[in-house]
Amino acid sequence: MAKRIEAKNLNIYYSKFLAVSEVNFTIAPRSVTAFIGPSGCGKSTVLRTINRMHEVIAGAHVQGDVLLDGESIYGSAVDPVDVRRTIGMVFQRPNPFPTMSIYDNVVAGLKLQSGRIKKAELDDTVEKSLRGANLWEEVKDRLGKPGAGLSGGQQQRLCIARAIAVEPQVLLMDEPCSALDPISTLAIEDLIQSLKEKYTIVIVTHNMQQAARVSERTAFFNLAGVGRPGQLVEIDDTQKIFSNPSEQRTEDYISGRFG
């Protein structure tokens, strides 16, 4: 069920401001791809075009195309709501619905998609998703308690459970560990390793160690220059990016000789 993602000549705008220009890449199914690069170069922006979250910002729009297994997600007949149901997303700051219980948080997406579902079926999904997110043991006795009452790391895993409960084909993660302690970070990295058996995963991270640990492929983004739009400098095997990148700028960035 995991799908291949292709970006074709993406130009991404906030109103008139061109934030990222001419991005092209292909991401294989069942793989983990890391987006790295300095702050403000457009990693989040590119990530959010993959599930059409970019356009929820007023004035934001996209030129070019993103293909999911060869099918355009920007076609005129495509409903962005369907795209987002196929491509899950986890944000930098954990964002469970504050007024909902843990249980309701997990099934929130499911209820949107399929309306009435049998209780037993929901129960199954909740357990499966929470197990999938490595959270089941910690919360199984308090599923009725508010999701906002969990620790930050638990909340983030709850958000992952919520995202995988609808069995998406792709999972996008925007710095999912940046607000977490090392132990929660490790838990989520392990989780990513097990999730890639089923999903295509793209993760934005500022932590190169993390990129090296979890991803097979790494994409390096950078600004084309001061006041110029961001661009994709190169995308390659993680091994190669960190040892012997083709571009001097990549080498400079990862060896800390940046700027």
Distance between CA atoms of 213 and 6, rounded to whole angstroms?
24
**Taking CB under 6 A as the rule, does residue 56 contact ligand ATP?**
no
Residues 126-155 interacting with other proteins (rule: CB under 8 A): 148
Name which position in 44, 51, 169, 231 contacts Mg ion (CB under 5 A): 44
Report the distance separating Cα 74 and Cα 50, nearest Å: 10
Among 85, 128, 198, 249, binds other proteins (CB under 8 A): 85
Return the range that interacts with other proteins (CB under 8 A); candidates 13-21, 78-86, 187-195, 229-237. 78-86
Binding-residue pattern over the window 23 to 52 for ligand ATP, x denoting contact by CB under 6 A: --------------x-xxxxxxx-------
How far is the C-alpha of 92 from the C-alpha of 18, rounded, in Å?
A: 23
**Segment lying near other proteins (by CB under 8 A), choices 19-27, 66-74, 93-101, 189-197:** 93-101
CA distance 259 to 243: 20
Which residues, at least 6 apart from 165, have a Cβ–Cβ distance to it below 8 Å?
106, 107, 109, 110, 125, 126, 128, 129
Judged by CB under 6 A, which of 4, 8, 14, 179 binds ligand ATP?
Answer: 14
Q: Is 212 in the site for other proteins (CB under 8 A)?
A: yes
The answer to whether 84 and 103 have CB atoms below 8 angstroms apart is no
CA distances from 183 to 44, 154, 178, 186, 206 (A): 24, 11, 12, 5, 17
Q: Are 258 and 38 in contact (CB under 8 A)?
A: yes
Q: Apex CA 247: angle with CA 244 and CA 250, to 5°?
A: 80
Q: Which does 136 bind (CB under 5 to 8 A by kind): other proteins, ligand ATP, Mg ion, none?
A: none
Among 57, 81, 112, 117, binds ligand ATP (CB under 6 A): 57
Q: How many helices (H) and strands (E) does the chain have?
A: 10, 10
Among 9, 63, 193, 243, binds other proteins (CB under 8 A): 243
Interface with ligand ATP (CB under 6 A): 14, 17, 19, 37, 39-45, 57, 230
Interface with other proteins (CB under 8 A): 51, 53, 56, 81-86, 88-89, 91, 93, 95-100, 108-109, 112-113, 148, 159, 162-163, 166, 206-212, 239, 242-244, 254-256
